[in-house]
Amino acid sequence: MSDTNPHALFDAWYAEARGGEPNDSNAMALATADAQGRPSVRMVLLKGHDTRGFVFYTNFESRKAEELLANPQAALLFHWKSLRRQIRIEGPVTRVTNEEGDAYFATRSRDSQLGAWASDQSRPLESRALFEERFHAMEARFEGQPVPRPPHWSGFRVTPMTIEFWLDRAHRLHERRLFVRDGDGWIESLLYP
């Protein structure tokens, strides 16, 4: 057992990744499963993290959101190839508050805000031209005014029950540190590579 805080260790590794990873240091694989247990994985961007969990945003009518609403469990994977490190996180998922969703949406570029209104994310699209038409219609709709957060767009928070830190070592003798939530604290152990 250790008193090491996995959130502090995540912060340290994430700071290194932000300084050294050439592209999208906040990119993470998000694995979900539908109500029948069929898995799906895709890349999303981490937009906030603290001791409550790891936050990303999406259209709530997207496949990932539908799967999370039906089966509110997820796994995340950060892979920083240039640092030869990865972090795996697993746990239950909840929606962020409306206030959190509004606050983050307000930080997005105007075009990204308009895109959230124009896109029927994960639905069939007959042509790129149609999406561009919808985008221009949203430009006209919100001309001269702030773009509010769409009611179908917000965020999810993954509350970690396990966090594993993987560090590459020579000859595939990797280092794996596993933290498992225990009440308000954590139990740390090592795993064989």
Confidence band, pLDDT 50/70/90 cuts, at residue 50? very high
Q: What is the pLDDT of residues 108-149, one digit of tens each?
A: 999 999 999 999 888 889 999 999 999 999 999 999 999 999
Give yes or no: 123 in active site. Answer: no
pLDDT in the model for residue 88: 98
Q: What is the pLDDT of residue 1?
A: 41
- Regarding pTM above 0.85, the answer is yes
> Do 154 and 57 form a contact (C-beta atoms < 8 A)?
yes
pLDDT at 170: 83
CA nearest neighbour of 45 among 104, 94, 118, 132? 104
Residues 97 and 37 sit within 8 Å (Cβ to Cβ)? no
Question: Rounded to an integer, what distance in angstroms lies between the CA atom of residue 139 and that of residue 20?
Answer: 37
Output the six-digit token pair for 127.
Answer: 């042509």
Walk me through the domains of the chain, giving residue ranges and CATH numbers.
6-108+151-191 (2.30.110.10)
Helix (H, G, I), strand (E, B) or coil at 128: helix
In this structure, the dihedral spanned by the alpha carbons of residues 20, 155, 131 and 133, taken in order and rounded to 10 degrees, is: -110
Q: Annotated catalytic residue: which of 172, 176, 177, 181?
A: 172
Torsion of CA 114, 123, 154, 137, to 10 degrees: 20
